[in-house]
Amino acid sequence: MAKITWLLLLLLFTPLTDAGQLRVAVASNFAKTLEQLALLFKQQHGHDLRISHGSTGQLFAQLRQGAPHDVFMAADTTRPQRLVTAGLATDMRVYARGQLVLLVNHQPAAQCADWLNQPGDEYLALANPELAPYGLAARKYLVNQQLDKTFSGRLVMGENVAQAAHLVISGNARGGLLAASLLHQVRLPETSCTWLIPPAEHHPVRQGMVAMTGSERRALIDEFYVFMQSAQARELMIDHGYLMAAEDD
């Protein structure tokens, strides 16, 4: 009886392990998609994902300062590669390609694309190009289409692409250049329209992931990498508005 009591006490005061939990820092555009992938990963592999999200630039800064994450899923490849170069991460892979979309309030669908050329004095929202790759892609698109002067002084920026979408949905901006995946995650105003920017006309948003070298969960990371290449995971990402990475990525 005494032996059983000691065993019970030992179990009671022994810290619970999180060996079956993978800590993932993910760019805001992919957060909702990753939540759905996490359910599938749990079902197939029995492990949990603990998800932290923010702009790619914010998360990169946190990881450089030692934030305890196992995997970094960015909205670009530049910052993951910089972590690899610094010896803080390894195994950089492109897991998806993002698409840029125009969302406009109070605009007929047939005239959605035309709004960029006839915005009047209204505002356009995008994510901060210094922090968010979708914001950088949006800014480069405006420059390439010679629309940067059209919106001079009339750009409003969110810290990340999710905040930029909120600026449009809340009516603080008439239009926004956003991640197409967000259209699957939020309820759009009934009078809004969307226009998918042709991929050939904007800077490609190649989204890279890396394994952090300080992680003690390497076996779980390997399982997650394999899972992200599975047919079910790829199908879910496509359903959420992403293109799959090319083999040469």
Instruction: Report the CATH number that the domain containing residue 124 is assigned in CATH.
Output: 3.40.190.10
Q: Is residue 173 part of a domain?
A: yes
Q: Is residue 3 part of a domain?
A: no
Q: Is residue 166 part of a domain?
A: yes
Question: What kind and span of H or E run contains 226?
Answer: helix 218-228
- Whether residues 93 and 106 share a domain: the answer is no
Spans of the chain below 50 pLDDT: 1-19, 248
- Which DSSP category does 47 fall into? -
- Whether residues 190 and 110 share a domain: the answer is yes
Tokens of 90: 């390894």
- pLDDT (0 to 100) of residue 189: 79
Query: Which is nearest to 103 in space by CA: 203, 160, 181, 26?
Result: 181
Residues 6 or more apart from 87 whose CB is under 8 A from it? 213
Q: Is residue 10 part of a domain?
A: no
- Whether residues 77 and 122 share a domain: the answer is no
Give φ, ψ of 154 to 5 degrees: -130, 35
Q: What is the pLDDT of residues 124-173, one digit of tens each?
A: 999 999 988 999 999 999 999 999 999 989 999 999 888 999 999 999 99
Q: Is residue 4 part of a domain?
A: no
- Whether residues 31 and 90 share a domain: the answer is yes
- Quote the crossing angle between the two packed helices 218-228 and 31-45, to the nearest 10°: 110
Residue 138: domain span: 100-196
- Whether residues 92 and 109 share a domain: the answer is no
The SS3 call for residue 132 is: coil
- What is the value of pTM for the model shown? 0.82
Q: What is the pLDDT of residues 94-115, one digit of tens each?
A: 999 999 999 999 989 999 999 9
Query: CA torsion 222→83→74→225, rounded to 10°?
Result: -10
Number of compact structural domains in the chain: 2
Q: Is residue 245 part of a domain?
A: no
- Whether residues 160 and 214 share a domain: the answer is no
Which bin fits 87, alpha (ψ -120 to 50), beta or left (φ > 0)? left
Q: Is residue 1 part of a domain?
A: no
